[in-house]
Amino acid sequence: MKRYRPRPEERQRQRLRSTPAGEHRGVLMDAVLRVLDPKPGMTVVDCTVGWAGHSAELLARVGPTGCLVGFDMDADNIPKARERLTAVGHPFYLHHGNFAGVQQALAEHGIESVDALIADLGMSSMQVDNPQRGFSYSRDGTLDMRMDRTRGRTAAQLLAMISAKELAEQLSTLADEPNADVIARSIVQAREQNPITTTSELAKIIQAATNQRDWHLHPTPGKWILHPAARTFQALRILVNRELANLEHLLRVLPAVLKPGGRAAIISFHSGEDRLVKSAFRTGRETGIYGELSDDPVRAQFREQASNPRSRSAKLRWATRASEFK
Ligand SMILES: C[S@@+](CC[C@H](N)C(=O)[O-])C[C@H]1O[C@@H](n2cnc3c(N)ncnc32)[C@H](O)[C@@H]1O
């Protein structure tokens, strides 16, 4: 009899269903705590609070004399994060907003600089799981993809306007899509017949364009061939949410946000993000802004990878602000 193997997205959903929010744990949590070394009285920033997996642990460690300042662009995450952080019982501020505004937000609270900062980039499982958010190619829903639904263009609006040439360039740059040209041409042809407004319409166009099957097994046991729409969905999400521009801005202001000796940990999930982080940290070390930093990214251990598929592509890079840098 054939062994039942849930598809990757299904496995993630099963894991989330069996994980009460109270046990929700941030990706690479042990490494984050090791690198940031939060201590009583410290001020820490979580740029991407989500459901407070990292924030709750950090807040517990900085204690009643410390403080956590958290951000999330997605208003849907704020109530759950607030509930979890309130249960920890130490001081915190939570902002519905873009981490690109970190300096202004800290200034509003009279905080000049912080001891530690984390950014766990990209989308959360909660966003992927909700078909109405439009992040998932395997669940039918509105083609939205905005993390902040109070502003900006949806993926459907973007696809209605972008040229085939620009779309192909973005698919190639942001997601290393090998079939970028053919997918971009097919999308533009399809939208001339009817606007593309749902995730399943887009997934079908990509599948037809690439002539590829749905999920299927890799010749290596236990591995899956990526869904043909996976890369396009990734590129669109990055574009819709201006993810690389936001990260570039954060990396620019980071030295001013960290106290001398302060530490930053950034977890990225695709090569475009990782390149930006690596380059900013290395340049910063050359110019004396950063002292110590990770030469190689920290990756999830086998055990975490087995229980949390998202952790498989996670890369954590860290840097310490040089003590004498002004
Ligand atoms: C991977 S999840 C974070 C999960 C969180 N570390 C946890 O353990 O619960 C990333 C979160 O960051 C948010 N986000 C992404 N880009 C952002 C930005 N530029 N500013 C603020 N929040 C952002 C997303 O809405 C999402 O909730």
Strand, helix or coil for residue 16: helix
Strand, helix or coil for residue 118: strand
The rounded Å distance from CA 191 to ligand 1 centre is 31
The rounded Å distance from CA 176 to ligand 1 centre is 23
In CATH terms, the fold of domain 149-240 is DNA polymerase; domain 1 (1.10.150)
What is the rounded CA–CA span in Å between residue 143 and residue 137?
A: 10
Residues 309-319 pLDDT 10s: 889 999 999 99
Residues 205-241 pLDDT 10s: 999 999 876 655 555 655 666 889 999 999 999 999 9
Q: What letter would DSSP give residue 220?
A: S
pLDDT at 4 over 70: no
In CATH terms, the fold of domain 8-125+244-321 is Rossmann fold (3.40.50)
Which of 48, 129, 150 is the best mutation target for the ligand 1 pocket, counting ligand atoms within 8 Å of the beta carbon and taking the most? 48
102 in Cβ contact with 47 (< 8 Å): yes
Q: Check residue 216 and give its pLDDT.
A: 54
User: Atom of ligand 1 at shortest distance to CA of 124?
Assistant: 2
Which residues form ligand 1's pocket by a CB distance below 6 Å?
24, 26, 48, 50-54, 71-74, 77, 98-100, 120, 122-124, 147, 246
Q: What is the pTM of this model?
A: 0.90
pLDDT at 172 over 60: yes
Q: Where are the domains of the chain?
A: 8-125+244-321, 149-240
Residue 243 phi/psi, 5-degree rounding, is -65, -40
Q: What tokens does 272 get?
A: 């475009």
Q: What one-character-per-residue DSSP string does 40-100 give? A: TT-EEEES--TTTHHHHHHHHHHTTTSEEEEEES-GGGHHHHHHHHHHHTS-EEEEES-GG
Confidence band, pLDDT 50/70/90 cuts, at residue 21: very low
Exposure string (b/e) for 133-160, b if CB count within 10 Å is 16 or more? bbbbbbbebebbbbbeeeeeebbbbbbe
